[in-house]
Amino acid sequence: MLSAMTSRPSQTPITGLRIVGGNITGALVLFGVVATFTVPVTWPHDVLFAVTTGLSVLSAVAAPLVGRLRPLPPGTSGPQARKQGVAAFQRAFFLQFAIIEAPALFALVVSFIVQTVVPYYVSAVIAVLLWLLIAYPTDKRVARAERRLDSAGGTSDLAAALSA
């Protein structure tokens, strides 16, 4: 009886990805709050602002390209296919996530160097929007990834594997 009360419900892989991504993206907001109180909010006249903004825009182009999944080999099915599909989806998620978040973290450092928090604000807003638009693992994105994985004849059953 006690073990039933203290045990936590199991977490699905898709929920884990959403929690990790949400927590790290939420940290960008917290970093922004801290930076607001430690670095002035003035318009930057520095080349590093252009660099950080350019990196953020570049991440918008690069993230979807890096996150493309390769189809499973024809005839791949069962537990092996599910395992390969989940691993490929998670790998693509974390690669996209890293590409999206890196410019914002770089901009945080730049904000302290140029003594204005504006480069961080710009890059953090772009990162949060890109995470929601490109990397957040919605059911629609999972279905699209499953179609891509299964396009060569394999059967990944990705949606079910991530929800189990």
pLDDT in tens, 113-142: 999 999 999 999 999 999 999 999 999 999
pLDDT in tens, 63-100: 999 878 999 988 888 889 999 999 999 999 999 999 99
State pTM to two decimals. Answer: 0.85
137, 100, 128, 139: which is closest to 25 by C-alpha? 128
Please give the pLDDT value at position 164.
81
Please give the pLDDT value at position 2.
52
